[in-house]
Amino acid sequence: MTSFPKLTYELLTVGEEFVSDTHLVTPEDIEAYAFAVDDHHPWFSGPSPFGGPVAHPTLMANQALSLRHGKYIVHAGLHAKMEFNFLEPVRPGTRVRSRGRVIDKYERRGRQYMVTEYVTEDEGGTPLVRGQFTQMLIPEGTRHAGR
């Protein structure tokens, strides 16, 4: 049984690891993502140079970004930076999983940040996307002054 403490800057540890559940990438996922970002490239549903349909390269980014939700209750946060290395296309029918590790946390101008490196892999362990992201924590009971 997993317990879910509230995520705080103090509780977060550099070096701690996260892992997502496995997700089966479906044609519906790819279609919904195409709608969301208003990009209907023909490779998403038809032939491509990779031998069949492939997903938008950033399709699984939210799986990585949500890794901390598998361990903590996250009050609120903002995404500050994102890096991707697209290693292999994500194809429908693939089961993918993301793993992450906190590599830094810091405070700047009164705000708290965490940095996570991640990899999204297929069921055989082949890395599809690697990268890292920086997220701002908005502590409970506080407001973020919209910039």
Partner 1 sequence: MPVAEAVAVGQELPSLAKELTQRRIDVYSGVRPRSIHTDEEWARQKGFRTTLAQGMMSTAYVSEMMTRLLGAGFVRGGRLSMAFIKPVYAGDRLTVHGVVKETRPEGAGTRVVVEVWCQNQHGEKTAVGTASGLRA
Residue 20 tokens read as 């997502």
Per-residue DSSP letter, 67: G
The residue range among 14-22, 57-65, 94-102, 116-124 that interacts with partner 1, by the rule CB under 8 A, is 57-65
Based on the shown chain and the rule CB under 8 A, indicate whether residue 39 belongs to the binding site for partner 1: yes
Per-residue DSSP letter, 21: P
CB of 125 to partner 1, least distance (A): 18
Cβ(144)–Cβ(102) below 8 Å: no
Residues in region 79-98 near partner 1 by CB under 8 A: 79-89
Per-residue DSSP letter, 75: -
Q: Which is nearer to partner 1, 15 or 86 (CB)?
A: 86
Q: Which is nearer to partner 1, 13 or 114 (CB)?
A: 114
Q: Which of 32, 103, 107, 127 binds partner 1 (CB under 8 A)?
A: 32
Based on the shown chain and the rule CB under 8 A, indicate whether residue 18 belongs to the binding site for partner 1: no
Buried/exposed code over 119-131 (b: 16+ C-beta within 10 A; e: otherwise): bbbbeeeeebbbb
Q: In whole angstroms, give the CA distance from residue 66 to residue 122.
A: 18
Site residues (vs partner 1, CB under 8 A): 32-33, 35-39, 41-43, 48-50, 54, 56-58, 61-62, 65, 76, 78-89, 138, 143-147
